[in-house]
Amino acid sequence: MPALDMRGLRDALGRFATGVTIITGCAPDGRALGLTVNSFSALSLAPPLVSWSLRLESRALPGFLAAGHFAVNVLAAEQQLLGARFARRCNDGFAGIAHRRGAGGCPVISGSLASFECRTSRSIEAGDHMLFVGEVLNFESVVGAPLLFFAGRLAPPASIGLA
């Protein structure tokens, strides 16, 4: 079988529009963790499970593995700057961001379309990523337009012709 064109594969995967989330946690030392992720997925309703993945090379991995809980904050279209902020390796954390502490001390970001407070039920190494599976303990949602990730960029639906 011929080797895959990895750039082409990445471009093809980018044709799948996904929602954008900020996954948050609380490290054992109390430090708030947060990063932008588009690999979030519903996994099961009974029991209520969700999943997301993080590169094994991420500096945030040890903190999320030790946290025991995580929160998924599904971003609204108007939260594009927030999504970009937490996509950078060096962000200034939660300074100036309206949030409350949820299950396990995880930040739950105000203004999100939905949030899911979860207990980590397992983490599974899969290729170059760690897959986190969490049991949903609490959730909230509102109606609104989502922020999307499409063709390598964050965008509200109208800006990529999906309104």
CATH class of the domain whose range is 21-149: mainly beta
The pLDDT tens digits for 96-109 are 999 999 999 999 99
CA distance 35 to 85: 9
The pLDDT tens digits for 32-87 are 999 999 999 999 999 999 999 999 999 999 999 999 999 999 999 999 999 999 99
Q: What angle do CA 151, 86, 65 make, to 5 degrees?
A: 105
| pTM exceeds 0.95 for this model | no
Q: Is the CA virtual torsion 145, 19, 62, 84 positive or negative? A: negative
Give me the chain's average pLDDT, please.
91
Say if CB 149 and CB 159 are below 8 A apart.
no
Whole-number pLDDT of residue 139: 98
Count Cβ atoms below 10 Å from residue 61 Cβ, excluding itself.
Answer: 16
Using the predicted structure, report yes or no on whether residue 159 has a pLDDT greater than 70: no
Backbone angles phi, psi at 156, to 5 degrees: -70, 155
